[in-house]
Structures are given as C-alpha cells and as structure tokens.
Structure 1
Amino acid sequence: MSVFPRPFLALLGVALLPATSFAQAVSASAPPAKVVQWTNLDPEKDKVMGISTQRTYAELLKNRIPTPVIVAVIDAGVDTTHEDLKRVLWKNPGEIPGNGIDDDKNGYIDDVHGWNFLGNSKGENIDVDLYEETRLVAKLKPLYEGKSRTSVPAAKRADYDLYQKVKKDYAAKVKEENEQYMQLAPLVGQLDGINEQLKQVLGVAKVDTAVLRNPPGASTNPQLLQLTSQLYANLKSSGLPDMDAVVEQVKQGATETKKHLDYSLNLDFKPRAIIGDDEDNTKDHNYGNADITGPDALHGTHVAGIIAADRDNNLGVQGVAGPLVRIMGVRAVPNGDEHDKDVANAIRYAVDNGASIINMSFGKYYSPQRSAVDAAIRYAESKGVFLVHAAGNESKNIDVVVHYPAPVSTTGTTYANFITIGASGSTNDKNLTADFSNFGKRVDVFAPGVGIYSTLPGSKYGTESGTSMAAPTVAGMAAVLKSYFPQLTAVDLKRIIRQSATPQHTKVPEPDNKKTVDFATLSGTGGVANLYRAVQLAIQQSAGTPKASSVGGQ
C-alpha cells in the first residue's frame, strides 16, 4: 500500500542548522493559526487551488434537494466512534447489531457498518502484511534461485522471468526502506529538540506558520531568522500547519518504516495465518469479521472524513459530501500491500450492499491475481458503480509502470466506471503538482492532496498528504453529484469530473526527474478537479443541454 509520501522530508535540511545557541529569548507570543480546509476553497474567489466546495453549496445547491448515496471506503479501517463520522456511517438496514446472526442473509454476520476481510471469526485482525514483492520472492525463490533460464521448462519461463524482475525490485525496496529509516530515526529527536527550543525562545505554545512568518525577536537575531525562515518555507510547501505536526509525522514515518523492514520485507513473516484461508483461492469470500476499525484506522479515518465528515455538527471538519451521503467501511488494506483476493471481495461486497461510489486509496506494482480484481471491476461496471482510485505516491509515470488496480483491462480497454486521481497542491505555481504524485495520461485529473486536514482516530484531527487524500476528494465530488443528480450514471460521473477539470498550463517540475514541464501534460485532462464546474455541467445535463465532448478523452 503506497500511502505515506513524506513531503516533510524537505525539513531534513533543518537538522543541519545550529539550533542550540540563540542569542536571546523573547516573551512575546502569537496565537496559533486557525486550520483552514483549503480543499474547500475556490481558485477564483480565494486564490487557492481547492475544489470550490463552499461556493458550490452556497451558490448552486442551496435550493436543491439531495438524495441518499452510499460511498464505500476500501481501506485500512474507519473509526466508527469518531465525533465527526458516527452520524454519517452507513447502517445495514437488514442487520441486527451484535446478535451473531446473518440477519439479511448476505453471507456476512453482523456487518452493521461494513465488513473486514483482514480478520477472522475470533475477532483477530491483521495489521502489518507483506509487500507484494516480498510475497512473490518468497514464493518463487525456492523454485528459480540459482537456475538458468534454459534449465527451466518452457512452460515455467514466464514465472522465471517474473522472479528475475521482482527480486531486483525487492532488493531496491529493502535498500530504500533502510535508507529512509536511517534518515528518519535520528531526525525525530533533532526536530523535537528544535521545536521545543523554539517554543521557549519565541514564547509560544505552538510554532506554526503565523509565528514563523513574523517570529518575535528574530529581526535582531540573524541565526534565529535563518532558522525560522527556512522552517516557514518548508511548512508552507509541505502543507503541514506547525512543527508539532512535523514531529508527529516524522515519528509516524519512522515507526511505519521500521514495521516495513521488520515485517513487510521479511520473507519468513506469514501474517495471513491469522485468517486461515487459502489466499490463492479467489473464489472464496466467506472469511473476515465485522470489525471495520481494525488495529490501525488512521488512514481510512482520514479518507472517510475527506469524503463526508459531518457538515452540520459544528465540529472539526466538513467533508466534501453531505448531508445524505453515508460511509460504508470495507477493511481490506493492511500496512503493507493488499491482497488481490481481498480487493476483489471488497469491491463485490460494496456493490452488493448498495454502494454507488467506491474509494480506493491504495495501490501496488504487482498484481498476481489481477484477473479476480478485473472481474470485480467489470462487475461494478455492470451495476453502475463508480470507482475512484489513487494514482500512487512514487513519482512514477503510470503510462510506463502499471499501478494496480489498473484503469484498463488486460486487453487494453479503459474501464468506463474507473477514474484515477493524482495529487495537487494549494498554489497555482511550481508546487501545483505534489512532488510525490504519480502522473501520466492514465491519471484522469489531479485533486488536492498536500496538507489535507481531516479526521483521525479518537475524535482527533490532523494533516496528511498523498494521492490517498486526492482520491477521496474526488469520491466526495462524485457523491455530491450523485446525491443531487441521482439520474447520473457512473459513466456520467467520470465524464463530468474529467470535463470540468480546466487545463492548467503552469510550469511545474515533473515528479520523476524534476525537469520543468507544462502541468497540463501530466494527466489525461491536464486539470485540477473542481466541484463548482462539475455541478454546473450536471445542471446543464439535467436541463437537457447537449453533452460536450470531454477534455482529453472519455
């Protein structure tokens, strides 16, 4: 699962600055900056590259009546007790909570808010799983290591070639994760020390962008001014609100990277034993439990809040969609890489239980059971269900390197109900493209994915970045369109979202090699998603206005 880009690693340079000998301490303090959900702002009115959520509700939807829509979040888990989510959770009308009976006869016992394909009937759950590269190396190494291609039967040479490729990618991943951990582990203490000393020196409770922009006393202290200026620039570009958030994300990154080294890349680790299923049998779907929260619900809770956090309770944040949009949790994405079998079952569960839209903020670069996932996508297509997929966070051109689930079938046919989303930043300048985002013509549109403030487990809130945040922004848009214009099909949703993304010709660094390119060349539409323009198109269609051809294709 590629869900943890680290734009804050730009702050690595800060650790090289002296931070222990400030000339003076000051007592003045500045109030912390109010966290703004820039995603909801408007490019024209607010000069921020948001999707115009607030303007859309105020100007286009205020006299329209919404209808119920279910959005399935296939992810690592959703906190069902969160103050900003509990009112918007899907409730299975045919299930009686906690009675241990499959009341609605759908094959899943007590699936009140969704289903968990990463657990067993005892309530035990998988947290960390292997990367797909690790699974493939563990499977193929005993068969092909040390052998020449000519010594392998012709019928097995495709597997031999796969092993040669995947073992190189596995070795590269081990190297990358080790290097990253060597960076992150010592950085935690350094940044924490800088943060606490700055609080003391500046006389503030929180070192945020407002303080760093005009630090008390810095004008008479060149060393302090150098440090605060660099921190301010890096916080602005990363989308993080303050140094506390930086320290927390570095800690989170170090912990997650250590898990990957110890478990996800461990050829002897066998987490699937918890479930006890035949992981190669993609026809099997009778496994799991009703715990849609699981052991680590940070990612899925953040995603769910972006889509539909309660807009009417005056708490925390506002999701893109509301008021009749409901979140169905489907747990199928561990810390590591998801199994194709679980993804296929999760899609089918969501479709069969009434979801109109499915958010998929996960992905990988090998898919050994791709046919099962492709069949599930086609099943969703036959039922008119719209799939929204994150493009991935590895700065790759996915026209060249396939990111799964793929938006096209093995025969090259593009799925009409499947949209792929890249991550964009808040400013229409060189930072418009998130430097971690995958790109290419197979990316349909970009959407806000840097410094996105949303729900976190325990009724908390925080900022995360990734195409994992961009995808639910578009899933929320799709839910708004479907709720207020229920006649729209999945094909309509994809066309409208693509067509309403106005191409931007801003000069930006291409994510993989940093050469300067036109932003419009980095996706199929060349644009950033915009709810206001999408609703305008939906209004035109509902009024019988002829459909215009979409930008850059279907």
Structure 2
Amino acid sequence: MKFHPYILALIVLFAGCKSAKESVVSTTPIIPKSNFTALELQTWYQKDYLTDSIPGISLDKWFSQNKKKSGREVIVAVIDTQVDINHEDLKNQFWTNQKEIANNNIDDDHNGYVDDIHGWNFTSNKNQDYITWGNFESVRFIRKWDPVFKDKTEQQIQPEDLANYKEYQRALKVYSKENASYTNWINSLNHSIELFPIIKDTLKSYFPKEDYTYKQLDSLYKKYKINDKTYRQMRDSNDRDLGALIYYMMVNVRNNEGTLDALKESQAELDSILNKNLNKNFNDRIIIGDNPEVLEKGYGSGNISITKKGLKNIQGHATKVTGIIAANRQNNIGVKGVAQNAKIMSLNISYSGDENDKDIAMAIYYAVDNGAKVINMSFGKEFSVHQQWVSDAFKYAEKHDVLLVHGSGNERFNVDENPYYPSDNNFDGTPEVSANFINVGSTSSRLDKTFVSAFSNYGKKNVDLFAPGEQIYTTAVGNAYKSDSGTSLAAPIVSGTAALIWSFYPNLTAIEVKQIIIDSGTTHNIEVILPGTKEKQIAFSELSKSGKVLNVYNAMKLAEKLSKQKK
C-alpha cells in the first residue's frame, strides 16, 4: 500500500554518538490535524505526532510518562533584549548570583561586574540609560572600511584585503537597497498623514461611525481598478480622486495604520531607522561610553529589566524567548516552559538595530564564566565587523563544555549561500569554528507543503535541524501571553530541550547533547515550499543538515541510553 506523502511519517530514533546506531521506524499512516481548538493552538508545538496528529516536539508525551522524576538545576543564558523579570510566570525562574550582594555598588565576587544579580545589561550605562536605536551592521562595516576602500576598484586592493573589500561592496549594496526602501516607505506615510483628514471626511459619508474594515473598503472601491503600482503613481501625482482616497485608507488599514496616531507612530519609527539605524554618522555607543574597538569587562549595568518612561520598551523579545525555555510548569497559570529546572541568566545586547560583536562576545564569556550550560542566541545579522571576537568566544564556550543554540534567521534565504551571523562558519571555505553550535530553522503546525515556515532561513550545510517557530504562545510583557512567530522562537525550544537533557543526565558533554538532539529528531518524508519562493517545492530533508525536526521524547530516551553507557 502506498501512503500519501503528507501522511507518511518516518519517526527515526538513532542511538548515535559513541554507540552503534540503530533505528526504530514507524510507517503508520496518520492524517495530520488541520482544525485546532484555542487550547491546541496555544500548545500545539508540545504535542506528539503519533498520538495527537500534530507535528510538535513530543514534550507532553515525555512529561506524562515521567511525572515523578525531578532533575537538577541548569543555567540557560538568554542573550537578547531586556526582559520583564517580574512577569508572573517567570519571576522565580531567573538565575541568581549568590556570590553578589544586590545594590551595594561593589563587585563582591570579583568577576568584573558590579551588582550582577541575575545577569548583565551590556547596552546600558551605570546611570541605567540604555540604547534604543543602534546601527545596522552593514552601516558599521561601511564606516569601518570607508577610509580604506572608498572609490577604489578591485584592482587597487591588496590581496590580503580582498575579502574585506568584497564584503564592503556587498554592504554598500545592502545599505543602498535598505535606504531606498525605507525612504520610499516614509514618503508614503508622509503623504498618507497629509491626506488623512480629507480621507476621513470623505469616508464619513459611507461610514458615519468610522468603523470600516479592509473588506468593506475593498467592496466600496471595487469599481476602481487600483493596485500598489497605481497607488504609488497616484501618491506621486497627489491624486485625490475618490477611488484613490479609498485606496489610501485601505493601505493604511492593511498595515495596521488606520488611525492618525498609528500613522505618526510609524512615521517616527521610520525616521529613526533612517537617521539612526542607517546613518553612518550616528554613534550608538555614546550612551554606554565604552571603547567599541576593545574587549573589556564591566561596561553596562546589572539591571536587566530597565523601564523608563518615554523610552522605547525593548523587553518584549527576551520575555517571549525566556517563557518558552523556562516558564513555570507547576503554577497552573500561563504557559509551560520546556525545562522546569532551567534558570535563566539574562544578558542584554539587543535593541532596535543590529547587535554589536563586542557585546555578543562579552556576553558569551560572561555566560561561560558564570556557570551557564546552554546559551540561547535568538538574533542575527548579515554582516560581522569583528567576527573573530565572536569566533574566539565560541571556542571558549566549546572548551568549557557549553552549548550554543542560534535561530537561523527570518530572511527566507539559504544560509549556505548568504552569510548570516553569529555563526560557526567563517563563510570562506575554512572548517567550522567550533562543534558546539546548533543552528535552528522554523516549522509550522501544518504537515503539508507549508510545513517549513515561509520566513525561515535554511541550509543543507549550515542549518542543523528545524523546530516549531510559527504561532508559538508564550509569555509577553506585563503579565500577558501572546503568540508570535520566527526562528527566534524555534531556537529556545531547542535550548530548553538541551537544558532538560542536562537536568537529568549531567554526565553528557555539550557535543553529545548536540548530537543527541540532532540524531533523535523526527523525519517527515514530504515536499515543502522553498522559503523565498511562491510555489517551488523541495524535499524537507534537503533544507537542513539532519533533515529532521526536534523530538524531545526521542532525545530524552537517547540521552538516557548514552548516559547509562558512560557510567
């Protein structure tokens, strides 16, 4: 009997690492679930495909069979934004530096950081002012190499500088494209703001309560054949025809900018992108007051959860990531993290812009030196000004048996062909920097051609495996809970799994834990739409090194087997 490719699941459990490999393969036909209840939508990624018909990570299955087991504490460093440390589902889940006395302005444990109670904020100063806007890395790269390469041809470049020259040229292209895109965007917003009063008055004739939806607006203007290209032409010619005005509002509503306040908020944000993120003359380190060209301890502050009125709140991202890993599983509120015994060491390096290589490296050193076993890195960028600093930090983590987990990125491209940092790959043909790095792509709850998230990066060489990263329900700022999507959310599911493994099997090494996670994944024999294309399909197995999706149940079984073999 030949099964339909979308319902044939090959669940493969490899007893890898130092033991001989064996496999258990199930070819039971299962019809993937397509209609979810509200609760299933919130918990889908923790489900088991064989028992629930949902392609999750089989976390619930493992916990249901191991209710009486209790593991040891494992520290997971989350290198990310600031975090809501007082969230009801997270407040007892943070690592505490027992050697440090809070708020005495003394480095009690002599680790180079004053009052580092729950981690460190590398993006603030001692007055607790913090970076809200930073440069894109392409801008930093151009600024660094402009004095050497500006207006020069490749023939004028010395052989030892050729690689940096090519990266410089690539940075110029990215910068030019982004600058043009954001400039066009803000011009559209400026025009919409100018016309907004006229549009509102016009639409009042049709919607006195101003309660229109996109669908209603679409029905109203249906006799006008207008598309995005025509809209730009109308904008440039300042067209105030009825159809044009309706379409202006349709664009605003589609972009969640249906009010004047929303438009002005977007305008302010785009203005900051152009004048800060993309401004080669903007110095994003003035607030901190450090020397960005020197690796050093101590800059920043111990407050990992700063909130100041009037400044952009940047706690959201890390709060979501932290909840996935370590939200309290026993308090019967909110969500359940992957690893109950994980304690989060919060290390702040992210803001609106690209992370600085100095902060990435110093955060890794801090995490390793202060006892973290897993480091989650849910951030990325297309350039790296000081890649060697980060590579050296990777090697330091490897030497000290610490696992690095990274989200592969949301650019919809092949990371074998398009550099994406931080990475264990130098993208120059040389061997990998270290063996303790896991790069994670994102999957959805749909076991069909859209199984791989449309936004996810991929790579047969440089993405290790996939994990759920689409519509993940987790903790949010202010005791809230929200669903979000991105490889940023797939990575902490893997980090939580690594912490769960070490919680029960501490005699395993970082390299062994990495191999267990990869070898024990689920193989789905299906074709999926290649991210970045509309309909091109490719075998799911070709989008990562392992061709698999994380499976916690299998990983814990394999970890148990290997751990016993080592005793």
What interval of TM-score do these two structures reach, taking the shorter chain for normalisation?
0.7 to 0.9
Partner Cα distance (1:45, 1:246) in 2 = 39
Alignment of 1:459 onto 2:479: yes
Deviates more, 1:173-182 or 1:392-401: 173-182
Paired residue secondary structure (2:558): helix
2:173 partner letter: K
When residues 71 and 545 of structure 1 are mapped into structure 2, their CA distance, relative to the original with a 3 A threshold, is closer
Q: Of the candidates 267, 272, 276, which is equivalent to residue 289 of structure 2?
A: 276
Aligned to 1:293: 305
2:125 partner letter: N
When residues 44 and 174 of structure 1 are mapped into structure 2, their CA distance, relative to the original with a 3 A threshold, is farther
Deviations 1:51-98 (A, max 9, x none): 111111011x22323011000000011111111111101111111111
1:36 partner letter: Q
Partner Cα distance (1:505, 1:197) in 2 = 54
When residues 332 and 197 of structure 1 are mapped into structure 2, their CA distance, relative to the original with a 3 A threshold, is farther
Aligned to 2:138: 133
**Aligned sequence identity (%):** 40
Paired residue secondary structure (2:414): coil
Partner Cα distance (1:423, 1:302) in 2 = 16
Aligned to 2:276: 263
Partner Cα distance (2:549, 2:208) in 1 = 40
2:520 partner letter: S
**Which segments of structure 1 move beyond 6 Å, counting only runs of 4 or more?**
180-187, 196-202, 248-255
Q: Alignment RMSD, CA only?
A: 3.4
Deviation (angstroms), 1:158 = 4.9
Paired residue secondary structure (1:274): coil
When residues 263 and 478 of structure 1 are mapped into structure 2, their CA distance, relative to the original with a 3 A threshold, is same
Deviates more, 1:501-510 or 1:157-166: 157-166
CA contact (8 A) 2:78 2:345 kept: yes
1:377 partner letter: F
CA contact (8 A) 1:390 1:420 kept: yes
Alignment of 1:440 onto 2:459: yes
Deviations 1:266-285 (A, max 9, x none): 22221211111111113x22
1:57 partner letter: F
1:501 partner letter: G
CA contact (8 A) 1:381 1:417 kept: yes
Alignment of 1:346 onto 2:363: yes
Partner Cα distance (2:267, 2:434) in 1 = 37
Paired residue secondary structure (1:93): coil
Deviations 1:142-176 (A, max 9, x none): 54433444456666555444332210111122234
Deviates more, 1:378-387 or 1:132-141: 132-141
Deviation (angstroms), 1:200 = 8.4
Deviation (angstroms), 1:256 = 5.8
Deviation (angstroms), 1:512 = 2.7
Q: Of the candidates 387, 404, 420, which is equivalent to residue 439 of structure 2?
A: 420
Q: Within 5 Å, give how 1:390-429 maps onto structure 2.
A: 390-408=407-425, 411-413=430-432, 415-429=434-448
CA contact (8 A) 1:75 1:299 kept: yes
Paired residue secondary structure (2:52): coil
Partner Cα distance (1:325, 1:248) in 2 = 40
Aligned residues: 473
What's the TM-score once normalised by structure 1's chain length? 0.78
Alignment of 1:304 onto 2:322: yes
Aligned to 1:15: none
Pair member with larger Rg: 2
Partner Cα distance (2:459, 2:141) in 1 = 27
1:471 partner letter: A
Partner Cα distance (1:416, 1:41) in 2 = 30
Alignment of 1:520 onto 2:525: no
Deviates more, 1:334-343 or 1:148-157: 148-157
Deviates more, 1:151-160 or 1:440-449: 151-160
Partner Cα distance (2:72, 2:526) in 1 = 38
Deviates more, 1:81-90 or 1:269-278: 269-278
Q: Of the candidates 94, 102, 121, which is equivalent to residue 126 of structure 2?
A: 121
Q: Of the candidates 368, 381, 391, which is equivalent to residue 385 of structure 2?
A: 368
- What stretches of structure 2 of length at least 5 have no aligned partner? 1-36, 214-218, 221-252, 307-312
CA contact (8 A) 1:76 1:335 kept: no
CA contact (8 A) 1:71 1:327 kept: yes
1:366 partner letter: F
When residues 156 and 359 of structure 1 are mapped into structure 2, their CA distance, relative to the original with a 3 A threshold, is closer
Alignment of 1:499 onto 2:519: yes
Deviations 1:285-306 (A, max 9, x none): 2311112124411001100001
Alignment of 1:91 onto 2:103: no
Q: Within 5 Å, give how 1:1-40 maps onto structure 2.
A: 33-34=38-39, 36-40=42-46
Deviations 1:472-518 (A, max 9, x none): 01001111111111112111111111011122121111113341111
Aligned to 1:385: 402
Deviations 1:302-332 (A, max 9, x none): 000011111111221111110x210010011
Deviations 1:152-207 (A, max 9, x none): 666655544433221011112223445666889979x99xx9xx9999899xxxxx
Alignment of 1:358 onto 2:375: yes
- What stretches of structure 1 of length at least 5 have no aligned partner? 1-31, 203-222, 225-243, 547-554
